[in-house]
């Protein structure tokens, strides 16, 4: 068992899969000798060499185009798009090319690749470099979408993503890169489409993703200690496939549902889960579903304004107290 940062877990997860399968290659801007702009891929170039760890021009379209061609001809590429905001530059590949290849060729060609990208706010990068955009890819049929919140999940879900036969968008939260956690020795392989109950509870269910997971956990501890409200906290982890069995089972036990989302409120991932809960767990609910989100605004660069915009433990506590009466 080793204690790794979330940042180091990225490199370990990629290295595990590159060591296991020589078809796995890695490409992106400044990912080789420089080790990535967030230093999440340090050591991979020295370990696997320039044929398998490749720097690219500053062109998101070129990166994903090369990755798609590699995937269609037998490789297992991992492509880095530095900031998730930049997925907009190459969105044709995300929306029209990767997810439709297998379908449009009647299974003659696949597109097994991973696009990993730095997502989310909290680092004072401003409106064009701080968005939480996992809902952009969640809406596209044919993509799988994951967003780990801990180092061990980074390693295990990276392995699952690389081994999957479908394109996977892998959202790494920039504000979690320095967070440390215990990671077991040896090979780690997780399962896409599985949520994880981090804190069992009886009074309400809180769903969270990525950076919002530790914030939801902190709020749950405060609610328990100071107000006697016992919250069940679930790390959603995978948006596509979505673990509805775990989510609906929790609602059946607690009777209340809260989502904590960093994405802007309009069309966020929690809205889809709220719809599913209303359809399939209506009679289990003892009150309205409450979504705790970032407002529908461009994110400010000023630290105090960015902190106000994002859901934080205090706001989570206040919203749950108000809803629970």
First to last CA, the chain: 44
pLDDT score recorded for residue 68: 98
Does 162 or 123 have the greater pLDDT score?
Answer: 162
253: which 2 tokens? Answer: 């036990």
Distance CA 199, CA 234 (A): 7
Is residue 173 annotated as part of the catalytic site, yes or no? no
CA dihedral (121, 123, 125, 131) in degrees, to 10, reads -10
pLDDT mean over 256-264: 98
Domain count, the chain: 2
134, 246: one domain: no
Percent of the chain with pLDDT over 90: 99
Q: Which of residues 208 and 325 earns the better pLDDT score?
A: 208
Same domain, 32 and 98: yes
Q: How far apart are CA 206 and CA 250, in angstroms?
A: 9
Q: Give tens-digit pLDDT for 262-276.
A: 999 999 999 999 999
Range from 45-49, 107-111, 195-199 carrying the lowest mean pLDDT:
107-111
Assess if residue 80 is contained within a domain.
yes
- Tens-digit pLDDT profile for residues 127-137: 999 999 999 99
**Position 86 in a domain:** yes
Contact 248, 216 (CB under 8 A): no
Model confidence at 163, pLDDT cuts 50, 70, 90, reads: very high
- Calpha distance 250→248 (Å, rounded): 5
What CATH number does residue 216 fall under? 3.40.50.920
Residue 182: pLDDT over 90? yes
- Mode of pairing for the β-strands spanning 196-199 and 231-235: antiparallel
Per the structure, the complete domain to which residue 279 belongs is given by 196-324
| 191 found inside a domain | no
| Other C-beta atoms lying within 10 Å of the C-beta of residue 21 | 13
Given a cut of 90, whether residue 325 has pLDDT beyond it is no
Q: Residue 238 forms beta bridges with which residues?
A: 146
Residues 152 and 39 in one domain: yes
Tell me how long the chain is.
325
How wide is the angle at C-alpha 111 spanned by C-alphas 110 and 112, nearest 5°?
Answer: 105
Judge if 70 and 12 occupy the same domain: yes
Given this model, what pLDDT does residue 1 score?
85
Where do we find the tokens 């990208």? Answer: 117
**Domain match, 161 and 242 both:** no
Q: Which of 129, 173, 227, 296 is catalytic?
A: 129
**Residues 292, 251 within the same domain:** yes
């Amino acid at each position: 068992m080793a204690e790794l940062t979330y940042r180091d877990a990225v490199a370990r997860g990629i290295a595990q899969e590159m060591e296991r399968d020589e078809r796995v290659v890695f490409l992106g801007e400044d990912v080789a000798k420089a080790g990535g702009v967030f230093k999440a891929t340090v050591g991979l170039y020295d370990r696997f060499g320039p044929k398998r760890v490749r720097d690219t021009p500053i062109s998101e379209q070129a990166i994903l185009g090369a990755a798609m061609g590699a995937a269609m001809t037998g490789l297992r590429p991992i492509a880095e798009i530095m900031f998730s905001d930049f997925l907009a530059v190459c969105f044709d590949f995300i929306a029209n090319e990767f997810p439709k290849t297998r379908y449009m060729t009647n299974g003659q060609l696949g597109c097994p690749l991973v696009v990993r990208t730095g997502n989310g706010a909290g680092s004072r990068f401003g409106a064009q470099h701080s968005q939480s955009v996992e809902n952009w890819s969640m809406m596209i049929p044919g993509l799988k979408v994951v967003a780990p919140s801990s180092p061990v999940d980074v390693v295990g879900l990276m392995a699952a993503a690389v081994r999957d036969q479908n394109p996977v968008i892998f959202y790494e939260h920039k504000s979690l890169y320095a967070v440390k956690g215990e990671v077991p020795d040896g090979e780690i392989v997780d399962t896409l489409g599985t949520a994880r109950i981090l804190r069992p509870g009886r009074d309400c269910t809180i769903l969270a993703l990525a950076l919002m997971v530790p914030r939801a956990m902190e709020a749950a501890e405060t609610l328990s200690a100071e107000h006697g409200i016992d919250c069940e906290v679930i790390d959603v982890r995978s948006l596509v496939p979505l673990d509805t069995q775990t989510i609906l089972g929790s609602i059946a036990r607690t009777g209340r549902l809260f989502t904590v989302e960093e994405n802007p409120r309009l069309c966020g991932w929690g809205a889809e889960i709220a719809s599913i809960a209303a359809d399939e767990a209506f009679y289990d609910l003892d009150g309205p579903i409450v979504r705790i989100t970032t407002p529908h605004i461009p994110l400010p660069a000023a630290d105090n304004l960015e902190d106000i915009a994002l859901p934080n433990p205090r706001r989570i506590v206040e919203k749950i107290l108000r809803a629970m009466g």
